[in-house]
A and B are shown apart, each in its own frame.
Chain A
Amino acid sequence: MSDTSQDSDTSQDSDTSQDSGTSQDSTTEEGLTPVIETSKEPAADRHGGVPPLLEVSDLHVSFPSEAGPVRAVRGVSYAVRPGEVLGIVGESGSGKSVSSMAVLGLLPDSADIRGSIRMDGRELLGLNDAKMSKIRGKDIAMVFQDPLSALTPVYSIGTQIIEAIQVHQDVDKVKARTRAVELLDLVGIPDPHQRVDAFPHEFSGGMRQRAMIAMAIANDPKIIIADEPTTALDVTIQAQVLEVLKKAQDVTGAAIVMITHDLGVIAGFADRVMVMYAGRPVENGPVDEVYYRPRMPYTIGLLGSIPRVDDDERRALTPIDGTPPSMVSLPQGCPFEARCPIAIDVCREREPELVTAPGANHPSACHRSRELMEGGGEGLLDPETIYPVPPVPEAHEIERLPRAERTAVLEVDNLVKHFPLLKGAVFKRRIGTVKAVDGITLEIKEGETLGLVGESGCGKTTTLLEIMDLTGGQAGSVTVFGKDVREVKGNKARKALRRDMQIVFQDPMASLDARMPIGDILAEPLKTHGWDRARTDARIPELLELVGLNPDHADRFPQEFSGGQRQRVSIARALALEPKLVVLDEPVSALDVSIQAGVLNLLDELKSRMGLSYLFVAHDLSVVRHIADRIAVMYLGRIVELGETKSVFHEPSHPYTQALLSAVPLPDPQKERARERILLTGDLPSPANVPSGCRFRNRCPKYLQLDAGDQQRCESEDPQLQSLAPDHTAACHFAEALAVV
């Protein structure tokens, strides 16, 4: 069996090599232009005459599909020099991952790859599996996005690292193991001697990613390609992993190609950045150049649509309208034309080349890039103003009342939710208690948005479901619109309460039943609450219009809409009955940034228009800062800091809030480089194993600075929320404001 498989594999490989060989000849000449372009740029000059380590030129990748070839990558060229960090940014579907997979030769056989990929001057495209295997893991190493699925579940971490070592180095098992332990130690895994025998599922996400990095640097690679290495991780863990990646680079001297959708991560990490859109690079240059002097409307829009933790005044975000084009049937002209605020006729006719416009210092692909100059001016366009800035919605009359005079819509007092912890695959027994929610107190007034922030596993979703379940929890109380939910008996009374509180979930696809047209989806709450047919039918177009969708689309199915539109449908459904309180569970975290901005603006607008109150649950501090009036920071089942948004962001007083805030990357290279990060040690402890006294003490940077007596206090006494300023409390014995943004 295996013999034949080998035969056909090699024969196939040689086939593709021939293919790419011939097509390469035909494309090199056109392909040369962009390469020359990139080498002309000043950033390249900085590295002097050093020849590039990795040189990708005019790479094209397409996949066959039912609808025709999907042209995932359409002419990507870049060069990476030794020790350099190149960031590749783009939204989902922009071709950024596919192009890096092509470098490693790991695309499926069905992919049609053309162009050239050179490593140290040697052409990689068309090498057979055997030859490529000698390069993979040795010269080019890879760090993948989801470290759980990227590690083989049935082998221990050590076995997998040892394997990586032994593939390329002629060392015995004992030596390889010693090296594996060293590597794990290097990437900051505690107790590497023991953890080397652990299985992937026994590691937390951050630890797994560290192990992946250890594996990647096992053979001192020249290049590490990191594909969204921190996307699946929480911010504080992300900060740790980025630090490890930096360290790995210092140790090995490798160049890094960092692929991400997060402009903040790139800002502080990369030397150069390449922005991709619809399978092509649209802007390329040193980080500062691209961030501060963008020359392409897409980059400008992207930067403007990101909510930032360092934003001071409240502003509406500038969303990029529309959607990336289909990669199957691309329009003739510039792929961004349909979404571009400054598109002109030529944009519809011809796709712009990636060239350096006169007066610019880096290449961009826009017909009008010569007009896009900082500050605008005569006959020029100011990048700051090309996108129409939506007006900040006028505050609802309720919002103008002082907070104390408004009535509370939701009061949660000392809410507790514990789960039994069961153990055993074949037989189960209770071995402990998971303290998912361990005493939460909060209050939301009319017309107010409370942001509930915390990392995964802190209990924020449990809190929210406990509130929505209307059961009142195991201890403590939940009071909705002045009624204690425990007192609300009977299905009818409960149903009446539900009418006034609605929920929007994170994943718009999962929260809409794919089998119902959106008209029926919107009708469901109305029908459930006894609206008649005629009223319901009249209400549906109204709702669609309210959230900015076409009312004629009521008979379409959710899957015919994009993620952002689906989330709008979810919001419309939640608003169908004109509730007073809307609970939002990570409503934008599944969306790309440019779409996220539109949904956030919509939420803001609806709130002011209808006088809604929001409980906004999120892990992203910058989003919360943008939308919330007040903020509650959760850690391990408790609120550790609570207060007015401005005050919490300006004067974070709990060490955890400080660490959390400092871990959020800013899409601002200079600020980012100047910032000092408060790195937390270790992972979030399991809620089944809450430390005594202060639950944060084992990771607390402040605790380490305290003297023994004070430390004693943290160990024995559970800190309560104490007031620091009007409407600002923190649960720390030694709370002290520290500006970190």
Chain B
Amino acid sequence: MLRRLANYLILVIVATSLAYFLAALSLNPRSNFEAQKPRPTNAQIDATLKTYNLDPETPVVVRYARWVDGIAHGNLGKDIKGGSVADDFARKVGVSIRLLVIATLIGSIGGVLVGAYGAIKQYRFFDRWTTLASFFLLAMPVFVVAIALQMFAVNINESAGSTLIQYTGEYNPTLSGFWPVMLSRLQHLILPTITLTLFQIAQYSRYQRNTMLDVLGSDFLRTARAKGLRRRTALMKHGLRTAILPIVPLLVYNIVLLFTGATFTETIFGWHGMGEWLVLSITTNDVNAVAAVSLFTAAVVLVAGLLSDLIYSALDPRVRFS
């Protein structure tokens, strides 16, 4: 266990370091300042870059050392506008979680149910159509679905004559009062949630359908019925319970990954979460932010992996004891 943890830690360190070097060497933070109006003097720019630990004159190894030193002291450095990366971080993770919790809940449960039911009704109407629909979704990039939904929302809004569904931002900041803000949040949540939920259902249902199909042909299900359980009871108690086991680690994994945000959905619907930050930090040549995001992502991926392993071994008696 410890060895594996150590190995993971090394992986995180190597991955993050690599990301740092790549970002530091190929991004050009200077361009941000050169584009500013009025354009600061070169000396000013150099000075600012230096304080941000972005100075291209300093050898990259030295910059890296400083960055690592900062992390050791809990300091993730400054973003390109001079703010604290750590503060950005907290804010953006919060946004991502607000966006993703509902979608993940509906997506996981929906996916499991759709998949299991599809397996029971294999090759019948329900199964055929959900299979086709998930194919359709999984064959599409997220941004296509997101944009299509936006266009759809515009149509609805137009025909309703008022803006029922919002498709950019998290809420309308001009509003005040608890209920109006909540309503606005809700209006803004609809589209991204639909996008995310659809994809998750599509994915999980495919997987759940497979595991359920395996279980359906199993001998123990036959035993359960042979001892007098009705088909439905046997399916729920023995079938689904067993078929859901392999899905659980996947769900856990994805829930942990919530923290890293949803790149496309956030960007397209204008939510300022982790996912959007990833894109933004690259387009704004924000080296420290890029490094922070990759550090965080690597760490989260590993935690997710570990956690799902642990949960699996806790759930499956076969793994627990062998």
A and B touching (Cβ–Cβ under 8 A): yes
Instruction: Report A217-271 residues with CB < 8 Å from chain B CB.
Output: 218-219
**B225 on interface, CB distance cutoff 8 Å:** yes
Residues of the A chain whose Cβ atoms lie less than 8 Å from the Cβ of B121: 5, 8
Q: Which residue of B lies closest to A168 (CB)?
A: B228
Least CB separation from B230: chain A residue: A133
Question: How far, in Å, is A254 (CB) from chain B's closest CB?
Answer: 15
Instruction: Indicate if A129 sits at the interface (CB-CB under 8 A).
Output: yes
Tell yes or no: A466 within 8 A of B by CB. Answer: no
CB of B316 closer than 8 Å to a CB of A: yes
Partner of A130, one of B4, B230, B241: B230
Enumerate chain B residues within 8 angstroms of A153, measured Cβ to Cβ. Answer: 220, 242, 316-318
* A106 contacts chain B at the CB level, 8 A cutoff: yes
B227 contacts across to A, CB distance below 8 A: 136-137, 141, 163-164, 167, 215-216, 218
Q: Contacting chain B: which of A23-31, A143-151, A448-456, A607-615?
A: A143-151
Residues of A within 8 A of B320 (CB): 425
Check if A104 sits within 8 Å of B230, measured CB to CB: no
Residues in A neighbouring B245, C-beta threshold 8 A? 154
Chain B residues contacting A326 (CB-CB under 8 Å) are: none
The residue in chain B whose Cβ has the minimal distance to the Cβ of A153 is B318
Shortest Cβ distance from B213 into chain A, in angstroms?
13
Q: Is B238 an interface residue, CB under 8 A from the partner?
A: yes
Q: How far is the CB of B98 from chain A (nearest CB, A)?
A: 30
Is B1 touching A201 in the complex (CB atoms < 8 A)?
no
Question: Counting CB contacts under 8 A, is B310 at the interface?
Answer: yes
Residues of B213-228 at the interface with A, using a CB-CB cut-off of 8 Å, are 218-228
**Closest Cβ–Cβ distance, residue A324 to chain B (whole Å):** 24
Bound Cα distance from A164 to B237, whole angstroms:
13
- Cα distance A732–B312 when bound, in Å? 47
User: Are the CB atoms of B313 and A106 closer together than 8 Å?
Assistant: no
Is there contact, CB below 8 Å, between A129 and B230?
yes
Chain A residues near B222 (CB-CB < 8 A): 106, 144, 150
Q: Is the CB of A106 within 8 A of B225?
A: yes
Q: Does B117 contact A (CB under 8 A)?
A: yes
B322 at interface (Cβ–Cβ under 8 A)?
yes
Asked if A154 contacts B229 (CB within 8 A), the reply is: no
The complex places the Cα of A152 from the Cα of B220 at a distance, in Å, of 5
Q: How far is the CA of A212 from the CA of B318 in the complex (A)?
A: 19
Contacts of A566 in B (CB 8 A): none
Of A8, A104, A130, A168, the residue contacting B226 (CB under 8 A) is A104
Contact A136 B242, beta carbon cutoff 8 Å? no
Given contacts A426-B309, A426-B310, contact A9 B219 (CB under 8 A): no
Known A-B contacts A154-B245, A202-B321, A426-B310; the reply to A138 vs B228 at CB < 8 A is yes
> In the bound complex, do residue B113 and residue A199 qualify as a contact, i.e. CB atoms below 8 Å apart?
no
8 A Cβ contacts from A88-128 to B: 104, 106
Bound complex: CA A457 to CA B225 (Å): 33
Residues of chain B with a CB closer than 8 A to A106's CB: 222, 225-226
* CB of B73 closer than 8 Å to a CB of A: no
| Given A146-B219, A153-B220, A426-B1, A199:B228 Cβ within 8 A | no
In the complex, how many residue pairs between chain A and chain B have their CB atoms under 8 Å apart?
A: 110
Tell me the minimal C-beta distance from B116 to chain A in angstroms.
Answer: 8
CB atoms of A150 and B223 under 8 A apart: yes
Residue of A nearest to B319 (CB): A425
Given that A1-B117, A5-B121 are contacting pairs, would A152 and B1 also be in contact in the complex, using a CB cutoff of 8 Å? no
Do residues B322 and A136 form an inter-chain contact, with CB atoms below 8 A? no
The residue of chain B having its C-beta at the shortest distance from the C-beta of A3 within the complex is B232
Q: Does B231 have its Cβ within 8 Å of any Cβ on chain A?
A: yes
Q: Which residues of B contact A164 (CB under 8 A)?
A: 227-228
Number of A residues contacting the other chain (C-beta, 8 Å)?
Answer: 43
A2 to B318, CA, bound (A): 29
Question: Is A556 close to B, CB under 8 A?
Answer: no
Is B120 interfacial (CB 8 A cutoff)? yes
Closest to B236 in A: A2
* A154–B241 touching, CB < 8 Å: yes
Which of B219, B237, B242 has the largest number of chain A CB atoms within 10 A? Answer: B219
Chain B neighbourhood of A155, CB < 8 A = 238
B229 proximity list for chain A (CB < 8 A)? 133, 137, 163, 167
Residue B3, interface by CB 8 Å:
yes
Known: A2-B236, A149-B220. A133 touches B228 (CB 8 A): yes
Q: Return chain A residues, CB-CB under 8 Å to B309.
A: 426
Bound complex: CA A130 to CA B230 (Å)? 6
How distant is the Cα of A168 from the Cα of B113 in the complex, in angstroms? Answer: 29
Residues of chain A within 8 A of B228, CB atoms compared = 133-138, 164, 167-168, 219
Q: Distance (Å) between the CB of A5 and the closest chain B CB?
A: 6
- Among B117, B120, B317, B321, chain A packs the most CB atoms within 10 A around the CB of B317
Smallest Cβ distance from B245 to chain A, in angstroms?
A: 7
Residues of A within 8 A of B236 (CB): 2
Q: When chains A and B are docked, how far (Å) is the Cα of A331 from the Cα of B186?
A: 71
Chain A positions within 8 Å of B317 at CB level: 153-154, 156, 199, 201
B225–A136 CB distance below 8 A: yes
Distance of A427 Cα from B237 Cα, bound (Å): 31
B242 and A426 form a contact (CB under 8 A): no
In Å, the complex CA distance between A137 and B242 comes to: 22
Cβ-based interface call for A6 (8 A) = yes
Task: Indicate if the CB atoms of A5 and B232 lie closer than 8 Å.
Answer: yes
Let me know if A6 and B232 touch, CB within 8 A. Answer: yes
The CB with the most chain B CB atoms within 10 A, among A144, A202, A425, is that of: A425
Q: Which of A154-178 contact B (CB under 8 A)?
A: 154-156, 163-164, 167-168
Considering only residues 90-106 of chain B, those with a C-beta below 8 Å from chain A are: none
- Flag if A201 contacts B318 (CB, 8 Å): yes
Among the interface residues B1, B220, B229, B238, which one has the most CB atoms of the partner chain A within 10 A? Answer: B220
- Residues of A contacting B318 in the complex (Cβ-Cβ under 8 angstroms): 153, 199, 201
> What separation, in Å, do the CA atoms of A425 and B319 have in the docked complex?
6
| A130-B235 Cα distance, complex, nearest whole Å | 14
CB < 8 Å neighbour of A427 from B3, B238, B319: B3
Q: Shortest distance in angstroms between A351's beta carbon and chain B's nearest beta carbon?
A: 32
Query: In this complex, what residue of B is CB-closest to A164?
Result: B227
Identify B220's interface contact among A5, A150, A167, CB under 8 A: A150
Closest to B2 in A: A427
**Contact status A1-B113, CB under 8 Å:** yes
How far, in Å, is A111 (CB) from chain B's closest CB? 14
In the complex the two chains form, is A144's CB within 8 Å of B313's CB?
Answer: no
A608 to B228, CA, bound (A): 57
Q: Could you tell me the distance in whole angstroms from the C-beta of B221 to the nearest C-beta in chain A?
A: 8
Contact, CB under 8 Å: B231 / A129: yes
Asked whether any CB of chain B lies closer than 8 Å to the CB of A275, the reply is: no
Using A154-B317, A426-B1, A426-B313 as known contacts, say yes or no to A137 and B226 having CB atoms under 8 A apart. yes
> Which residues of chain A have C-beta atoms less than 8 A from B235's C-beta?
5
> Given the complex of chains A and B, what is the CA–CA distance between A161 and B310 in angstroms?
29
Chain A, residues 1-36, CB within 8 Å of chain B (1/0): the string is: 110011011000000000000000000000000000
A624 at the interface (CB under 8 A from B): no
Complex Cα distance, B229 from A136, in Å, reads: 8
Q: Whole-angstrom distance between the alpha carbons of A9 and B318 in the complex?
A: 33
Nearest residue in A to B239 (C-beta to C-beta)?
Answer: A152
Cβ of B231: which chain A residues have Cβ within 8 Å of it?
Answer: 9, 129, 133
Tell me, in angstroms, the Cα distance from A156 to B120 when the chains sit together.
25
CA distance A216 to B223 in the complex (A): 10
Question: When the two chains form their complex, are residues A201 and B242 in contact, meaning their CB atoms are under 8 A apart?
Answer: no
**Is A151 touching B230 in the complex (CB atoms < 8 A)?**
no
Task: Give the shortest distance, in Å, between A427 (CB) and chain B (any CB).
Answer: 4
Taking the nearest CB of chain A, how far is it from the CB of B206, in angstroms? 17
| A512 interface hit (Cβ, 8 Å) | no
Contacts of A354 in B (CB 8 A): none
Given A129-B230, A144-B226, A212-B223; 20 other pairs, CB 8 A cutoff: A1-B113, A5-B235, A104-B226, A106-B225, A133-B230, A136-B225, A136-B226, A141-B227, A144-B219, A151-B223, A152-B221, A152-B223, A152-B241, A152-B242, A155-B238, A199-B317, A201-B318, A426-B1, A426-B4, A426-B313
Please name 10 pairs of A and B residues whose Cβ atoms are closer than 8 Å in the assembled complex, sorted by A. Answer: A2-B232, A9-B232, A133-B230, A146-B219, A152-B238, A154-B245, A155-B238, A163-B227, A167-B229, A425-B313
Chain B contact residues, CB within 8 Å of chain A? 1-4, 113, 117, 120-121, 218-232, 235-238, 241-242, 245, 309-310, 313, 316-322
